[in-house]
Structure 1
């Protein structure tokens, strides 16, 4: 499958592409829709009449038996698929799938999409909702769209006017303030053989530091630290990132600690299409979290909104009774444990700017309206061929009021391999929210301490 390179060459691919013009805050009249016909986050409150229900505040209760230990129980364990999309009926449902999802179904006979009843489970803390409403009339894009002005925590553009605003909503979305997780990543061979790489990740928003000073590091959005804990040959290597808001004026600050060399060095390659950590060439740096980093190499088009079958409420994928051997299969994860629902998504198209370099010439990104999380991304190469397909199997961390991902999967249609990141089934203490971290924990000097624990 190809995108139209003729339109790309003539600059006519998107009439609504962002240019150097200023975009930003909506009027007070528009913002008044938030909390009325729109949720505080900007999603349509109303359903579609039969398949998508109206939003009623998100999940109302925590499943009985949950021990507040980060081991999440499936609140929909008793439900069965309404139907399954496979090679025999994919044409019937193709308008509610991405081209990449259709390609996966056609490539693999056992890659099927089980469709369950839709539940709009996601909600946010009241403080995040109120900050989002305030952002709607205040936040503006600056530096050609590569930075934000007047931004506070939460979603900057709940009523997006263009593709750049929509992708900024994904980049900045709330993920709990300060969290630590222990996860595994696999890059199976074509025959399904794999060796997990295990990470301890830390993610802390600047405003959630215990020693937060609003006048220090004002251009930093969050701090991220990732230590490899297994296998032994990689254990002790640590990555540190200071994620800047305007990465063109001030590029992302990144350092790595190499345990073998016992030294810290700057890591400018941790950006754009630089290689992902321990990914065996199966993802770029900006594939992490589906998409991250500076948006300056692409033109961004807000194609519109559509109804689409996307991974959702994926609690079976974190079941402690499910082993990695059961989940990781040749070509793709075991789709028997996945769950898809019909949701409204924003379709955003990123097209590589003339003169810029990236291995992906186009990305078609489908962002869930309730959470601003990218759910599916189709990646095209420089020839215009569909190359990689990313799916984010999301879940709602109901005790924390945090929508996030259970796992992310990136499929390579050409090589027949894939990468799955965020696996927790066999990990101890998979998620810890509310961890206390100070600015001192995210200095280059802290890297060596993290690598020798």
Structure 2
């Protein structure tokens, strides 16, 4: 039996951690494209209109912009904040702020949220929307939610009833087929000193989305996500390269990773590029599964779908993704508030609790998933003692010319160490490019020795 969709108020929660394995009921599927969007978001505006009705997202190109250009102007650059949330008025918004943001407001009197008008700007190709509706009637989870089956290229569970289903929607969120960008990754320590952790040239591919005409369901061992990064800076890391691949069922095919180190002049299998292994791309300031707020397998946690609420989250973050002046972002203690655009959106809330027989540096995690894209846009991480440890934010910047609703930039605050890491700023290197997929040879582990040479 599959439980029906339940939409919750800002303070309500679901008291179950049920894991479904069957398709959604027909009466629920019928709402998709009607009262719900094809991806399962509420189409209507909220009660006071501060979250507008969803009308298909933004596909209007800014004046002077040519479709396919990799530097995308902010279509809302002329707007001004409608309100500012700071330490003085934060108590007026207890349900609309993550625990991490609340803590930053308590610690730093000059930290603030510039809140702008909400734009539900996420647009997706029609074939992705159509497949998402088909998935609602056919897709299923396997292995107690760890794997996925019978999914076409699209959102697998537009009507989720479990935390694992919601997280699979995030893992399989539409990000185009193949994208390339060069980016900076910065650490800012507790003294406020900004240090370049890495500069990398990343190609990210979603084979799951490479055939719009596909009508057959997926193989559990099929790779749905792969990324290849060649590091070019700083000097101590120049020449290194990594390749990571994730399959639709990590129990049938665990994550595979390879690494090239120029000092060894060989490519080696690197099975530890996952879970809570410190990510050297951020100089160890985050774990591998902190990437894009969450990345990797679901098997170490029990996942609970808490419900939906309205929250202030970064959105339409063109200033973060595309600004060429990265230095003005990396201010002491927190990312420069003048560069971050906050909007009010509905988000799904998912709680992850570490299984008793599993190990991870995070005992508990709370994730917030944007209802229009299913991208994880924020998280709070807690240590073994239950204390708030870290918190992440993602900076969505929809590529309106190609109907890709997300962006590569994200960050993490270390609330114990007093530092933070921000990555995915592409502006200094020409922005985000959507490209034809690489050849099978270019995706082979052997190709790393060529891409990573100094």
**Matched residues in 2 for 1:403 and 1:444: separation?**
30
Partner Cα distance (1:452, 1:289) in 2: 27
Provide the C-alpha distance between the structure 2 equivalents of 1:217 and 1:36, rounded to a whole number of angstroms. Answer: 31
Query: Which segments of structure 1 move beyond 6 Å, counting only runs of 4 or more?
Result: 212-217
Which runs of 5 or more residues in structure 2 are unaligned?
Answer: 1-12
- Which runs of structure 2 are paired with 1:16-415 in the superposition (5 Å)? 16-18=16-18, 22-49=20-47, 50-67=49-66, 68-196=68-196, 197-207=198-208, 218-320=221-323, 322-405=324-407, 407-415=409-417
Name the Cα RMSD after superposition: 2.0
Shift of 1:195: 3.0
Cα distance in 1 for residues equivalent to 2:163 and 2:361: 20
What is the DSSP-based 3-state SS (H/G/I as helix, E as strand, rest coil) of the residue aligned with 1:274? coil
SS class of match (1:187): strand
Q: Once the two structures are superposed, what CA deviation does each residue of 1:389-430 show, in whole Å capped at 9, x if it has no partner?
A: 111121111111111135211001111101101012322x32
Consecutive unaligned residues of structure 1, counting only runs of 5 or more, are 1-12
Higher mean C-alpha deviation, range 196-205 or range 295-304: 196-205
**Normalising by structure 2, what TM-score?**
0.92
Q: Does 1:445 align with 2:443?
A: no
Q: In structure 1, the residue corresponding to 2:191 is in which secondary structure?
A: coil
Contact 2:308–2:346 (CA<8 Å) still a contact in 1?
yes
Looking at structure 2, the residues matched to 367 and 275 of structure 1 have their Cα atoms a distance apart, in angstroms, of 24
Could you tell me how far 1:446 is from its partner in structure 2?
1.1
Q: Secondary structure at the residue paired with 1:152?
A: coil
Partner SS, residue 102 of structure 1: helix
Contact map agreement 2:153 2:209 (CA 8 A) in 1: no
Mapped to 2, the partners of 1:238 and 1:441 lie a distance apart of: 13
Deviations 1:180-214 (A, max 9, x none): 1111100122233223211111111225669x998
Q: Distance between the aligned counterparts of 2:286 and 2:118, measured in 1?
A: 30
Contact 2:177 2:437 in 1 (8 A): no
C-alpha distance in 2 between matches for 1:33 and 1:293: 31
Q: Deviations over 1:86-141 (max 9, x none)?
A: 01000011221112210111111222111111110101001111111111111000
Deviation at 1:374, TM superposition (A): 0.8
Q: 1:315 Cα shift?
A: 1.5
Question: Kindly tell me: are residues 334 and 411 of structure 1, through their superposed partners in 2, closer, same or farther at Cα, counting changes over 3 Å?
Answer: same
Distance 1:299 1:336 in 2: 37
In 1: Cα distance, 2:435 partner to 2:127 partner: 15
The Cα of 1:319 is off from its aligned counterpart by 4.5
Matched residues in 1 for 2:436 and 2:109: separation? 44
- Answer whether contact 1:72 1:318 (CA < 8 A) is retained: no
CA distance in 2, matches of 1:64, 1:115: 25
- Whether contact under 8 Å (2:219, 2:248) holds in the other structure is no
CA contact 2:306–2:349 (8 Å) conserved in 1: yes
TM-score by length of 1: 0.92
SS at match of 1:167: helix
Give the deviation of 1:17 after TM superposition.
Answer: 1.5
Give the total of aligned pairs: 436
Equivalent position SS for 1:123: coil
- CA distance in 2 between partners of 1:146 and 1:444 (Å): 26
Counterpart secondary structure, 2:411: strand
Task: Specify the SS of the correspondent of 2:28.
Answer: helix
Shift of residue 25, structure 1, vs aligned partner: 1.4
| Aligned residues of 1:314 and 1:406 also touching (Cα < 8 A) | no
Worse overlay, 433-442 or 330-339: 433-442
| 1-structure distance, mates of 2:71, 2:357 | 47
The range that moved more, 89-98 or 61-70, is 61-70
Mapped to 2, the partners of 1:439 and 1:172 lie a distance apart of 21
Judge conservation of contact 1:176–1:434 (CA < 8 Å) in 2.
Answer: no
